[in-house]
Structure 1
Amino acid sequence: MKIYISSDMEGSTGVVSAAQVDCTKPQYLFGRAMQAADVEAAVRAALEAGAEGVVINDSHCTMTNLDIAKFGGEVQLITGTPKLLGMVEGARGCDAAIFLGYHAMAGTEKAVLDHTFDQYTIYSLSVNGRKMGETGVNALLCGALGVPVIMVSGDDALCMEAGSLLGPELVTCSVKEGLGRGAALCLTPESTAELIYSGVKKALARLKKGECRPFALEAPYLLEVTLMNTLQTDAASLVPGAMRTAARTLRFETEEALELRRFLYSVMECASATLSGF
C-alpha cells in the first residue's frame, strides 16, 4: 500500500496569518514548523497502519518548505516548482491520497486564509457547475488518476467544504475553528498530532474495507473561472481554448480532467503578469 500526501500550509495547526505562510517573513518559521508537525503525524500513522511507502508532495508556495531529513527511508518527498500537476504531482500509482493543511475556497466566511490557488487573480471557479476550491480541483485530478482522497485536514470551514463535496466516506480532521480570515481558535500541536494520527488510521481502515472511491465528474469537463478584474481577464483570454463569457469570466471545455490544471495555471500566469501594471 502506497500513500500520497499533498501538504499545504494555510490549514496547518496554529496558522492564522499571511506572514506565517510567507517565506520572506520571520513568522514563516512557525508556519513551516507546524506544517512539518502535521505531516509527521500523518506519516507515522500511515506507516504503522501498514503502508509500504509514503509520497509527500510539498504543495505550498515555492514548495520547498519540508525537510527530507525529517523523514525515514520509507518516505519520498516531491519538492520544488513548477510541477506538471502542481499540488497533486506524484499521486499517480498511489493507493490513496491525504490532503493536509488545506484551506477553504475563496469567499468562505470564517475561513482562515481562504483563497483558491491564487488570492490575487482567482475570484471563483466551478467545474460542471459545481463551485469548488483547491480541495475539489485536486481531488478531481487525483480521481482522474484513479486515486481516492480519503482524508483532509484544515479548519472547520475546509472540513465542511470537503465533506460536502467528497462524501461521507471522507475523514475530516479540523485543527482549528476559523473566527475570520486572520483569526482562529486553535488546538495545540500535541492535540492535533493525535487527531491527525487517529484520522489517518481511520481513513486507511475504510480504504482497506473498500469504502473509498475516487472523486469523479462526468466528462466533458466545463471549467468556469472568474478573475479579479477585467485587465487580468483580457490577458488570460489569450490562453488557447479560453472562451470569454462575461467581463471577468472565462470558460474552458475538455474531455480530459488533467487538462483542467494546465488551463487553470496558464490563466493564472497570464493574469498575474498584469498585476504590476494594474
Structure 2
Amino acid sequence: MHVLVITDLEGPVGVDSFRQTRTGRTDRKRAAMDHLAREVNAAIEGVRAVAPDAAVDVWDGHGSGGLREADLVGGRYLDGGRPYFHLHDCDAVLFVGQHAMAGTPNAPLCHTYSSLSVDYYKLNGVFVGEFACRALIAGRQGVPTVFLAGDDKATLEARQFVPEIETVVTKYGRGRESARHRDRDEVRAEIRDGVATAMDRVEEIPPYTGLEPPYTLEIRYLDPSNISKIDRVGGWVRKYLPFLGPVLPIATGVTRVDSRTIRVRADTLLDPESGLYHRL
C-alpha cells in the first residue's frame, strides 16, 4: 500500500496566529512545527496499524516550510513539487494540519493558497479551498481522499465534498486568529485511531470527482497589483519569448475579468501546460 499525507501548518493544535506561520524564521514557528510533526507521526502510526509495510510519503505543503525531515518517524519527506498530481501507484490521500478555505466565518487562519493575496477561488462556480482542489485532483486519478485532521471548520468543509471521509477536529475556531484548542495528546490519539479507521475503509470511500470537466477557475485577489503582475509578465513573455509560454504558468490561459479577478479555463486538471495546473 502507498499513501500520500498532505500537510499544512495552520491546522494543528496550538496554532492560531499568522505570526506562527507567515515566516521563514524557524524560531517563530518552531512550536507550530513541533505540533504538526506530532500529528503527522500519529497519522503514520495509524497507517501502519493497518498496513505495517505501507509506503508513506509526507508532503510539506506549507510555503515557507512546516515540517522538519528529521522529525518524521516512518515516513518519507517530500518538500518540492506537487506530488498530488502524480499518484500513479497511490492508494489513498490524507490531510494533516488542514485549514478552511478563504472567507470561512470564524475559521482560524483560513485562506486559499495564499493568506496574503487571494480573496477566493471558484472552480466551475463552486467556492473551493485547498482541500477540494487537491481531493479533486486525486479523485481524477482514481485515488480517494480518506482522512483530514484540522480545525472544526476545515473538517466540515471536507465532509461537504467527501461525506464519507474520516475527520479529527484539532481546535474550534472563534475567529480568524482565535481558537479553542483541544488537548494535544487526545488529538494525537484520535488522529492515530481515525487514520487506522480510514485505512480500513479505503475501499468504501470513493474518489472525489464531483466537479466535471471542462474547468473554469476564477481567482479573485485582494489587491489589483496581483493582476498587474500577471498582465505585465505575461505580456512581456508573449511579445519577446513566446516559446516560453507553456513553462510560465502566469502567461498561459489567463483571462482578466476585472481589476482583481482572473479566469482560467482548461479541459483537464492534469495538463502541465495549462494555467489551471499551475494554480492548484
Give the shorter-chain TM-score range. Answer: 0.7 to 0.9
TM superposition shift of 1:252? 1.1
Structure 2 residues without counterparts, runs of 5 or longer: 235-250
1:204 is aligned to 2:199: yes
For 1:17 and 1:261, the matched residues in 2 are separated by 36
1:241 is aligned to 2:257: no
Report Cα offsets for 1:236-277 as digits up to 9, x if no partner. Answer: 243221112223111111112134896258679xxxxxxxxx
Deviating 4+ runs (over 6 angstroms): none
Q: How many residues align?
A: 259
- Which residue in the other structure is 1:161 paired with? 157
Task: Tell me, yes or no, if the aligned pair for 2:166 and 2:194 is still in contact at 8 Å.
Answer: yes
TM normalised by structure 1 equals: 0.86
- Which residue in the other structure is 2:57 paired with? 55
- Which residue in the other structure is 1:147 paired with? 143
1:98 is aligned to 2:110: no
Relative to structure 1, is the Cα distance of residues 2 and 128 closer, same or farther in structure 2, using a 3 angstrom cutoff?
same
Report Cα offsets for 1:110-139 as digits up to 9, x if no partner. Answer: 111111111222110111111101111111
Task: Tell me, yes or no, if the aligned pair for 2:120 and 2:221 is still in contact at 8 Å.
Answer: yes
- Which residue in the other structure is 1:137 paired with? 133
- Which residue in the other structure is 2:243 paired with? none
Task: Tell me, yes or no, if the aligned pair for 2:266 and 2:276 is still in contact at 8 Å.
Answer: no
TM superposition shift of 1:92? 3.6
TM superposition shift of 1:91? 3.8
For 1:227 and 1:259, the matched residues in 2 are separated by 24
TM superposition shift of 1:146? 2.0
Give the residue type in structure 2 aligned to 1:244: R
Task: Tell me, yes or no, if the aligned pair for 1:107 and 1:115 is still in contact at 8 Å.
Answer: yes
Taking only aligned residues, the RMSD between alpha carbons, in angstroms, comes to 2.2
Q: Secondary structure at the match of 1:55?
A: strand
Report Cα offsets for 1:182-221 as digits up to 9, x if no partner. Answer: 11111122111011011101211211xx211111121111
Task: Tell me, yes or no, if the aligned pair for 2:10 and 2:98 is still in contact at 8 Å.
Answer: yes
Identity %: 29
Task: Tell me, yes or no, if the aligned pair for 1:236 and 1:267 is still in contact at 8 Å.
Answer: no
Q: Secondary structure at the match of 2:201?
A: helix
- Which residue in the other structure is 2:46 paired with? 45
For 2:201 and 2:263, the matched residues in 1 are separated by 37
Task: Tell me, yes or no, if the aligned pair for 2:33 and 2:66 is still in contact at 8 Å.
Answer: no
Give the residue type in structure 2 aligned to 1:14: G
Give the residue type in structure 2 aligned to 1:147: V
TM normalised by structure 2 equals: 0.85
Task: Tell me, yes or no, if the aligned pair for 2:173 and 2:179 is still in contact at 8 Å.
Answer: yes
Structure 1 residues without counterparts, runs of 5 or longer: 269-278
